[in-house]
Structure 1
Amino acid sequence: MLRKLLTGIAVLFVAVWGALLLWPEGAYAPHQPSDEYRARAADYLARNLTPMPENWQWDSFEATDGKLMRWGRARPEGDIRATVIFVPGYTGTLEMYADYHHEMLSRGYEVYGFDLRGQGGSARMLENPEKPWVADFGIYSDDVAGFTKMVRTQTAGPLLLIGESFGGHVVLRAAGDHELPIDGLLLAVPAMRIQTPPLSYGAARFIVEASRKLGFGKDYALMQKNWQPYVTDLSQPNYCGDNIDRIHIKDTLYTARPELRVGGTTNQFISEMMESGERISKPGYLQRLDMPVLLVTGDTDSIVQAEASKKACAAHIPDCDLLELENSGHCTISEPDATRAAMFDGVDALLARAEAALQ
């Protein structure tokens, strides 16, 4: 009886998946927030979005395939202790991390920021600009490696590479694939292995891979779509937590600046990310990292499998310190000041380790 029930559920699921897969997506039609929500979003941004540093300068980096990536830079008022390159997470744009830039500058760091292709102010890859897509995840690695080498020609002193979530995955991949001229690596809640509820990881892996092989790689993955606000009541919590003054920055910024929007994930993107995650999680790959590493996790992270990252740090990365943020989820940008201060202190500690290794 139980076997028949499970078989029936599986058949129903496959039928629903097949129907959704074959249903045409249609032309790109961005979400149009209501006038009421736009007004609330504008008020929210005016009260909560930190402006970029006054001396922030924007520029473009041309990748090997000719695509242009947006980057920016600012220098502290006094002496430069070190240089940091920051790579945002999935759907992230450098404007969302202005608090980070200001904090790093106040601690004496020269700050570079890099928008990954397909998001922020960098080149989009498909006709629907909200869809993330890349032929191979190694392309992200190559982009970061090329940019890092360019920064090295412009700077002196220690150079730290920092990536958050998807950005953490990419900078780890870059450090493993290339000989990077960096002195330390910070992986903030890195997406080495993503969570896939309500599906098991194996089921999700099978679905996106099958969808890609059937020719639907550029289609949105199951339950994914163009951007729209997670909630329209900006006094309510969302998947990033309940710190109301910070958790809605992305949605309100996307409302004000549609060109920055990124929607859900495509079958190709997820399949490549899973494949790349398996690659970078292998002991032999991680043992290539020949610089001090700080790996930051949140103890309530519901987006990535933090245990997989912690295991990698403890067992396979040669020189890795672990910082577990208490009562913290995946969105470090939305955490209270005390929690974020612990992460910034971690940057200082990583710099001290890097300087000691250089002596």
Structure 2
Amino acid sequence: MDCAPFFDDIAHGPDGGAAHWLHTADGLRIRVAHWPKTDAKGTVLIFPGRTEYVEKYGRSAQALADRGYASLAVDWRGQGIADRMMDNRAIGHVGRFFDYQKDVDALVAHAKTLDLPRPFFLIGHSMGGCIGLRALMRGLDVKAAMFSAPMWGIQMSLALRPVAWGLSTMSKPLGFDDALAPGQFEQPYILRADFAENTLTADREMFNTLRDQVRAHADLGLGGPSLRWLNKSLREMHRLSLRPAPDVPCITFLGSEEAIVDPERIRRRMHDWPGGALHVIARGRHEMLMDAPRLRETMLDQTAALFDAHR
């Protein structure tokens, strides 16, 4: 296996973290990072959200290590320092949404190659929650899952939704499916957002940390999605909504101030999830694992309790 760059200076994770390059079944190169834990109870597979990168989850990996778990995170195709899908690195793009499952397959195979401690568990945030739900429906071998603001729907006004579907559907025949989706920018959100109005975190220290990470390593940054990404994600979320929940114990966290993913889709999914529980976090925004220490600790205490109960 090939070692990959790992920016330990910004990760704030446990000692011993390392990254490797993996090659997917369709020939792309993605990056994974793992944080070992002596005598671990198991290994948590971390599925990040859109625009994210492995170092962003160093603090979560440290918190999981404190609770007895090793961690493994991934740079999905098209983000982090994995292979980007377009010459313009600033635009998030994907050929098919199902292609992310090839990244999942490579990640799981790598976990087995490293002989990471069993059993495996899942944490999926935002887009990683969408990818994770599909992976569970495909039989991902985990004992339990935690989702944070999962992307099972995207917030849009009733007036905008048909426009988004129509425009993104016609983008390929008209030859502009690699263009930015309406209202999106090439500059990463964290670099152009004002703290007082940002939709990610209510914790200024974490907001500054996320901004500093991208400033320190500009290649990690990613702007808005392409019209193709938008179309393929809408189709994937619709397909998933038509299928029953998998028979995997699950806990999901939703912030009361969520402004990116669709809370109603999350509520509907969790209402019908056998063995599932939904926790609404007062004043929580989209990235609750990147919020104030007390909020993060509470979430990870409950997550570790779920994982402990299903080892």
Task: Report the equivalent of 1:23.
Answer: none
1:354 maps to a residue whose letter is: H
Q: How many residues align?
A: 302
Secondary structure of the structure 2 residue equivalent to 1:290: coil
CA distance in 1, matches of 2:275, 2:306: 11
**1:262-281 counterparts in 2 under 5 A?**
262-281=222-241
Q: Say whether residues 1:351 and 2:311 are aligned partners.
A: no
Deviation at 1:197, TM superposition (A): 4.8
1:296-315 deviation digits (Å, cap 9, x = unpaired): 21121010111211211112
Q: Say whether residues 1:324 and 2:284 are aligned partners.
A: no
CA distance in 2, matches of 1:328, 1:299: 5
| Aligned pair partner of 1:166 in 127, 130, 148 | 127
Secondary structure of the structure 2 residue equivalent to 1:248: helix
Q: Say whether residues 1:138 and 2:98 are aligned partners.
A: yes
Deviation at 1:121, TM superposition (A): 2.1
- Structure 1 consecutive aligned stretches of length 4 or more whose deviation exceeds 4 Å: 228-237
Secondary structure of the structure 2 residue equivalent to 1:112: strand
Distance verdict in 2 for CA 1:280–1:157, change over 3 Å: same
| Aligned pair partner of 1:88 in 48, 52, 55 | 48
**1:151-300 counterparts in 2 under 5 A?**
151-152=111-112, 154-176=115-137, 178-197=138-157, 199-228=159-188, 236-282=196-242, 285-287=243-245, 289-300=246-257
Distance verdict in 2 for CA 1:221–1:86, change over 3 Å: same
Secondary structure of the structure 1 residue equivalent to 2:104: helix
- Once the two structures are aligned, what percentage of the paired residues are identical? 24
Unaligned stretches of 5+ in structure 2?
1-8
CA distance in 2, matches of 1:156, 1:228: 35
Task: Report the equivalent of 2:3.
Answer: none
Q: Structure 1 residues 223-232 or 152-161, which shifts more?
A: 223-232
Distance verdict in 2 for CA 1:233–1:113, change over 3 Å: closer
CA distance in 2, matches of 1:241, 1:198: 26
1:37-86 deviation digits (Å, cap 9, x = unpaired): xxxxxxxxx9xx5533321011112100111111111122x421111011
1:86-137 deviation digits (Å, cap 9, x = unpaired): 1111111111222111111111101111111111121111101122211110
Distance verdict in 2 for CA 1:151–1:241, change over 3 Å: closer
CA distance in 2, matches of 1:234, 1:281: 34
Q: Does structure 2 retain, via aligned residues, the 8 Å contact 1:297–1:306?
A: yes
Q: Greater share of helix residues, 1 or 2?
A: 1
**TM-score normalised by structure 2 residue count:** 0.89
